[in-house]
Amino acid sequence: MRILTRLSARTDAAYDNTYHNKLQGRIWQALKDSEYDALHDKNQPKPFVYSNPFPPRDMDEGDERTLLVASPEESLLAHIAEDLTHDRELNIGEMPFHVDDVSPLAPDVGEPGTSGTIETGTGVLVRIPPWRFDDYGMDVNHDQAEFWRPEHTLEPFRTQLEANLDKKHRLYMPDYLAGPSDVDGDLFDSYELIKTFAIPVTPTTGRTEEWVLSKWRFDYTVRNDDHRRHLNLALDVGLGERNSLGFGFINITDQTRPDETELEGENAFP
């Protein structure tokens, strides 16, 4: 599930690529005193992820932007939608917006047999823990988690991505349902790296750090109902780590259903 928020710039503004903490703060504000408030201090993946305000470029007063927030918890999205509707002033750092409209969305990767493409709308954060360095044959001269980079090969990226989604499945899906690692087959048919990049991030420690992220294009074919659920969970909670900072947000950009023509751009957002 998602909510789509239409925004308009309240003044001329430069686009702030370090929006993550400021936007996260507004979301936690919306969840204050709700049943989700206690999750803030828990050391576990949070049940939401969000896009950047897009398109990501400098704004003139009145320019329109779009913000998407996704979650497997419909009631969590209801709290956020209510907050954005009640208080239509949304200031993301030095980017002041007015909330023009909030509406629901329900993207779906499709029934078994459907094929399509998923792209990362924001960078994916994958860190490899030190106890896995030997497993992946990594020659790393430190004992801290290592940001994934192309030279580490695809195997650790895929393995850590599945392990992370497994954890989210255990947290937010019923116990009796099979998780990603319980079924045969990869999450995606192909993994196309678009780029890696580093950005300054200020996590909860308050100290600014440089994090290495990656953007991807994934092809998929839905094998069965379990696989469909796993892909849809990724749409709802994001891929990789620190989704509550907006990392790992993904979108369906192309989709071909069984016996149908290609539907380009369905449920697609930049």
Cite the active site residues. Answer: 41
- Phi, psi angle pair for 4, to nearest 5°: -105, 125
Which three-class secondary structure string do you get for 36-52?
CHHHHHCCCCCCCEECC
The length of the chain is: 270
- Alpha-helical (H) ranges within the chain are 20-31, 74-86, 154-172, 225-237
Q: Are 239 and 160 in contact (CB under 8 A)?
A: no
Give the span between the Cα atoms of 55 and 76, in whole angstroms. 25
Q: Which residues of 223-233 are buried (b: 16+ CB within 10 A; e: fewer)?
A: beebbbbbbbb
Q: What does the alpha-carbon distance between residue 50 and residue 44 come to, in Å, rounded to a whole number?
A: 17
Q: Cα separation of 153 and 126, whole Å?
A: 13
Q: What is the DSSP letter of 124?
A: B
**Residues near 6 by beta carbon (within 8 Å), at least 6 away in sequence:** 64, 66, 99, 100, 101, 102
